Chains A and B, each alone.
Chain A
Amino acid sequence: MNRVLDQALVVFRGSLRQQLRDPLTLLAMVGLPVLLQPVALFTAGQLRTRDAREGRSATVVIQAPAAFDDLTLPKDRIERVDEGWQDQEHPEVLARVVLPVDGAAAEVHFDSTRSRSDRARVRAVRVLRRVRRADMERRFGDAGLEGRSRDVLPVELEDVASSTEREGGLLGRLLPLMLVFLAMNGGVATSLHLVTGERERKTLETLLTARVDRRAVLLGKFMVVVLVALVTAAVAVTTLWACLALGLYDAPGDSIAIPTSAMPLLLLLLLPLAVLMAAVFTVVAAYVPDFRTGQFAAVALLFLGLAASGVAAFPSIQAGYALALVPVTNLALVMREALVGHYPLGILAVTLVATGVHVALALALGARLMAREEVLYGGGRSADRRAHGRFVPDVLGAFGVALVLLWFLGQRVQGVDLLWGMVFTQVVLVAGVAVGALVWLGQPVRETLGLRAPRPVDLGLAVVAGVAAPGCSALVAWAQEPLLPTSAAFMESLEQSMTLDASLPVVVLVFALLPAFCEELLFRGALLGLLRRSVTPLLACVVVGALFGIVHLSVVRMLPTGLLGVLLCYAALRGRSLWVPVTIHALHNGLLVVASGQGWFADPPLWMLVSMAVVSVVAVALMGVRRRCV
């Protein structure tokens, strides 16, 4: 390991030297934060000042009939005009109030697309309230009553936030977003230059023929990206702090500042942010085939990063242990808390540990990519990738196509006619995508799908597993009930679909057997068949199981169907034939359809569910045992 670190340091120094001679890197690292940020802050401050000033002095005219002759108006640019007054002739007027003659509602004319006009509307409404109050007091006076009219429940506003919270509040909502953007901007250019660019300039091949470990190459370049992203973010924070200290941001009513006590934590949090950005970008740069594709990927990642950090802009979303596990969002929320003077140590610890895990996962993936020979040509180039048996993007692409079709077309067709819509959905949108994807990729269809005869013993075990399989999904549904309760609406829609105006054999055929075959063609056939060439069998089972859970388009069904999907994947791999999971799936669906139609097992005892689940899993585990011994 020491050797790898030594080599990584050599790569780091060499790459950094080159990078620091790149004007674009220097611009992204220092130029952008130093130049753009004060300019943006200053402009924002001036705009807010001007807006507020113009809002205060917005011209409002009041068109009042003779009944309001004794109306007293404030003197500040509020003018009374006659009935014949025309808007078009007075563009400087921002809002017009028309007072009614016969007790109808007063009208306020304004232009919502102009912020000045919108502010004038607020003033006009305020003036109307004043007019109403004056009118009421006049009537009280006429009736011989003394005193002033009072609000039914007077309200006094009192801000309980401390000055630190008030000053850091606005900044806490915006700063994480800005820091993520700048760190990403600094990191992405560097990583693309150091990895994708090296490949295009043919220097990566030169580097990889040297006696240097590929992990050291990745680590060395990663360290350069970390440094650039870190410096970019640190320059941004320091510049912002300096801007605020120098009073460059001068906005009335909005006092903002970076609390001095928050600065150490803020700077400390920049490190995991930079490390995470660097890890993700280095991996992406190692994967994409060329610079142009890398830039597209960078834009997508930038949006993801901004969306994740933008969570901090919503005051209603509080930092918590669950969000502390979400990449980028966790760091943004902790930064926001630090800026308002809160230091939740537990959440901070979970955030740092989770970020460490995210970085480790990204780097492990990067090391795997670097170890592959197609790193020289770009793992993302589809022809080269597929030439080396890597089908992960194709699997996700095929699943995405199926999901979009099911969401936009399948649901709609089933809404028109449930029975025939189901047939269309399964045959065309599910099985069609499975076969179409394999034909598109030029893969052998029968072989990839696993359409071969199973051993009779495996088929027998599949029957046992299939009969017991409803216990698996029911057990999971029972276990998740406290967290994800099954809604009455969901149960109603499920029962409705199972109690069609059709004979039981037709319902079993359409809702049990057909989905069993078509969904197995897609999930255990095409997707698992392609994915198992790229990743370990366990990971392939988990991923395809998760996709199977997602495709059912129901939060409640996601986990039960997802775990059933994993079991079906395991059965497909153990039984080495698609007919094995088809049998289990068909029996599972068929029993559920018949049981719901007949009202069986309305509330099965827990021991029965557990027993069925165990039988199902054991039956699948026993598949292929004799074959392995032979």
Chain B
Amino acid sequence: MIEVCELTKRFHSPRVVTAVDRVSFRCEAGAIFGLLGPNGAGKTTALRMLATLLAPDEGTATLSGCEVRVDPAGVRGSIGYVSTTTGLYGRLTAREMITYFARLQGVTEPRQRSDELVERFGIGPFAHVRCDRLSTGMRQKVSIARAVVHDPPILILDEPTSGLDVMVARAFLEFVEQARDEGRCVLFSTHIMSEAERLCDRVAILHQGRILANDTLPALREASGCRYLEDIFVHFVQSANGEDA
């Protein structure tokens, strides 16, 4: 479903910084792939390349058979992208927001699809309220509905629970599990270890733009000799730092 091969992104400001360095991984349908790393590890840059917001310098990334540089529109049609930085239009109501994106995504019956999502995510009571007057939890529901309005087979979630309170974050994680059960391929980046531990079928540890480890959680435990994901993460990062030194 997602196949990333040697993906690289460099910024030149003023010296060259390699934000993502030859990253490769695969993510299958009906699975959650966790991209784990501290702030500045390159998670957002990697996911933005997959969402076609940034152009890779080297390497390839294929999502649902579409390569990001060859068919960016095809890629965007097959993904639902949610991040801490994807905002909502404050002057549109919740329902208008969903309908607007249904139209942009080329959904054939945008109003009908909007009604379905309003009902599914419990948006009804505030569907007519402008987005700038919604609470964080309500906004998150609208964000999810907006991301899945075209029923994408892939979900790319970039630290989606960052800044959310416990109840809203919990509801969001339930939605992610539900998406996996529906057979979607979920790529989930986070620096919250407990979330990754709970959700991910497979985890890649990203540090300074490079993948240090990429396996299932039991395999990572075995390789590191650590029980908890936090310890596993620290183990790999320290090993990498030791090698660099």
> Known: A387-B12, A389-B12. Is A11-B104 also a contact (CB below 8 A)?
yes
A21 and B132 CA atoms in complex are apart in Å by 12
Question: For residue B101, which residue of chain A has the nearest CB?
Answer: A210
Say whether B20 faces chain A, with CB atoms less than 8 Å apart: no
> Known: A376-B53, A384-B13, A386-B13. Is A211-B104 also a contact (CB below 8 A)?
yes
Q: Per a CB cutoff under 8 Å, which of A14, A209, A388, A443 touches B76?
A: A209
Q: Is the CB of A213 within 8 A of B73?
A: yes
Say whether B87 faces chain A, with CB atoms less than 8 Å apart: yes
Say whether A201 faces chain B, with CB atoms less than 8 Å apart: yes
B82 shortest CB reach to chain A, Å = 9
Q: Per a CB cutoff under 8 Å, which of A210, A212, A388, A442 touches B15?
A: A442
Residues of A within 8 A of B103 (CB): 10, 14
A22 and B14 CA atoms in complex are apart in Å by 40
Q: Per a CB cutoff under 8 Å, which of A202, A211, A389, A441 touches B77?
A: A211
B37 shortest CB reach to chain A, Å = 20
A517 and B194 CA atoms in complex are apart in Å by 64
The total of chain A residues at the interface (CB under 8 A) is 31
> Known: A211-B106, A441-B14. Is A205-B101 also a contact (CB below 8 A)?
no
A191 and B50 CA atoms in complex are apart in Å by 29
A514 and B103 CA atoms in complex are apart in Å by 64
> Known: A14-B92, A18-B89. Is A205-B53 also a contact (CB below 8 A)?
yes
Q: Is the CB of B53 within 8 A of A373?
A: yes
Say whether A106 faces chain B, with CB atoms less than 8 Å apart: no
Q: Is the CB of A209 within 8 A of B79?
A: yes
> Known: A22-B91, A389-B12. Is A207-B53 also a contact (CB below 8 A)?
no
Q: Is the CB of B14 within 8 A of A442?
A: yes
A442 and B16 CA atoms in complex are apart in Å by 11
Q: Is the CB of B87 within 8 A of A202?
A: yes
A202 and B103 CA atoms in complex are apart in Å by 20
Q: Chain B 84-96 against A: per-residue CB contact (8 Å), 1 yes, 0 no?
A: 0111111110001
Say whether B51 faces chain A, with CB atoms less than 8 Å apart: yes
Residues of B within 8 A of A383 (CB): 13
Say whether A232 faces chain B, with CB atoms less than 8 Å apart: no
Q: Is the CB of B11 within 8 A of A387?
A: yes
Q: Is the CB of A206 within 8 A of B88?
A: yes
Residues of A within 8 A of B104 (CB): 7, 10-11, 14, 207, 210-212
Q: Is the CB of B54 within 8 A of A373?
A: yes
Q: Chain A 366-387 against B: per-residue CB contact (8 Å), 1 yes, 0 no?
A: 0000000100100000011011
Q: What is the predominant secondary structure among interface residues of chain A facing chain B?
A: helix
Residues of A within 8 A of B52 (CB): 209
Say whether A452 faces chain B, with CB atoms less than 8 Å apart: no
Q: Is the CB of A18 within 8 A of B91?
A: yes
Q: Is the CB of B100 within 8 A of A14?
A: yes
Say whether B150 faces chain A, with CB atoms less than 8 Å apart: yes
A216 shortest CB reach to chain B, Å = 9
A211 and B146 CA atoms in complex are apart in Å by 13
Q: Is the CB of A21 within 8 A of B51?
A: no
Question: For residue B103, which residue of chain A has the nearest CB?
Answer: A10
Question: For residue B51, which residue of chain A has the nearest CB?
Answer: A209
Residues of B in contact with A, size category: 20 to 34
Between B52, B54, B101, B104, the greatest number of chain A beta carbons within 10 A of the residue's beta carbon is seen for B104
Q: Chain A 408-444 against B: per-residue CB contact (8 Å), 1 yes, 0 no?
A: 0000000000000000000000000000000001110
A10 and B104 CA atoms in complex are apart in Å by 7
Question: For residue B152, which residue of chain A has the nearest CB?
Answer: A211
Say whether B188 faces chain A, with CB atoms less than 8 Å apart: no
Q: Is the CB of B77 within 8 A of A205?
A: no
Residues of B within 8 A of A388 (CB): 11-12
Say whether A17 faces chain B, with CB atoms less than 8 Å apart: yes
A83 shortest CB reach to chain B, Å = 76
A373 and B10 CA atoms in complex are apart in Å by 13
Say whether A238 faces chain B, with CB atoms less than 8 Å apart: no
Residues of A within 8 A of B76 (CB): 209-212
> Known: A17-B96, A383-B13, A389-B12. Is A209-B53 also a contact (CB below 8 A)?
yes
Residues of A within 8 A of B54 (CB): 373
A509 and B129 CA atoms in complex are apart in Å by 77
Say whether B123 faces chain A, with CB atoms less than 8 Å apart: no
Between A205, A209, A376, A386, the greatest number of chain B beta carbons within 10 A of the residue's beta carbon is seen for A209
Residues of B within 8 A of A206 (CB): 86-88, 146
A319 and B195 CA atoms in complex are apart in Å by 70
Say whether B233 faces chain A, with CB atoms less than 8 Å apart: no
Q: Chain B 183-205 against A: per-residue CB contact (8 Å), 1 yes, 0 no?
A: 00000000000000000000000
Residues of B within 8 A of A389 (CB): 12
Say whether B105 faces chain A, with CB atoms less than 8 Å apart: yes
A386 and B81 CA atoms in complex are apart in Å by 28
Interface positions of B from 93 to 123, Cβ below 8 Å from A: 96, 100-101, 103-106
Q: A11-B104, A21-B91, A386-B12 are in contact. List 14 more A-B contacts (CB 8 A).
A: A18-B91, A22-B91, A202-B87, A205-B86, A206-B87, A206-B88, A206-B146, A208-B53, A209-B76, A209-B86, A210-B76, A211-B76, A376-B53, A388-B12
Chain A interface (Cβ < 8 Å from any Cβ of B) = 7, 10-11, 14, 17-18, 21-22, 201-203, 205-213, 373, 376, 383-384, 386-389, 441-443
13 A–B contacts from the bound complex (CB under 8 Å): A11-B104, A17-B96, A18-B89, A18-B92, A202-B85, A203-B89, A206-B88, A206-B146, A209-B86, A210-B104, A383-B13, A384-B13, A443-B14
Chain B interface (Cβ < 8 Å from any Cβ of A) = 11-15, 51-55, 73, 76-77, 79, 81, 83, 85-92, 96, 100-101, 103-106, 146, 150
